[in-house]
Amino acid sequence: MPLPNPQPQIAAPTANATGSSDKLNQTLQILTFKLGNDLVAVPTSFVIKVMNRPPDRQANPLDLLYIGQAAIRLLNLRSSSSETLEPILIILQIRPGEFHAIPVADPPNLLDLPVAHLQPLSPAQKSSDLLSITSHVARITEAEETSIVLVLDLNQILSAPLLSNLGAGAGE
């Protein structure tokens, strides 16, 4: 059974209005997950599903995984090769007909992030490998704990020349 084929946005993430067109009341729905010591996020508009890795299927040397008839490219966002064996997959469709999966160790969390908290990164701020594929950052506070969330630039990830080299400085 092939994965569904929704048409997510390819442009920069948009926000959901929560009653007013005022930027202070707009939110962006994201999935957050850990990559090493970093808290990372993707907009839910690109997420097809979150699933357990099929136990009988491993990544091949081309980092492809087949689920039903769908070929899914594993995105190795860290330097650690063990990431490709992480038990949970976040399945994304960034471009029509192209499926990608981010392997993660723990289930992601759904979060409505106020758009006012998002700050774009300039090219000069993209010093580390993980920051080079980050479009925005935000500071969030949950349960009296403050964290920095890195919102991934999914189009930048797809154009990165060597995905396997990303994340070398990602806090591991």
- Among 16-20, 123-127, 133-137, the least confident range: 16-20
Write the CA distances from 86 to 41, 74, 83, 122, 145, integer angstroms.
17, 11, 5, 31, 26
DSSP conformational letter for 33: E
The answer on pLDDT for 89 being more than 90 is yes
Q: Is the dihedral of CA 161, 163, 167, 172 positive or negative?
A: negative
Amino acid 84: pLDDT: 56
Q: Domain ranges in the chain? A: 16-165
* Amino acid (1-letter code) at residue 55: P
Q: CA-based Rg of the chain, rounded to a whole angstrom?
A: 16
More confident residue, 144 or 129: 144
Amino acid 7: pLDDT: 38
CA pair distance 139, 53, nearest whole angstrom: 31
* Amino acid (1-letter code) at residue 2: P
CA pair distance 113, 97, nearest whole angstrom: 28
Under the banding of pLDDT at 50, 70 and 90, the label for residue 156 is confident
pLDDT in tens, 22-75: 556 799 999 999 988 899 999 999 999 999 987 655 555 667 888 888 888 888
> Looking at the whole model, is its pTM more than 0.85?
no
Query: Which has the closest alpha carbon to 78: 164, 148, 2, 151?
Result: 164
- Residue 121 contacts by C-beta under 8 Å, 6 or more apart in sequence? 131, 134, 135, 136, 137
At which residue do the structure tokens 């920095």 appear?
Answer: 148
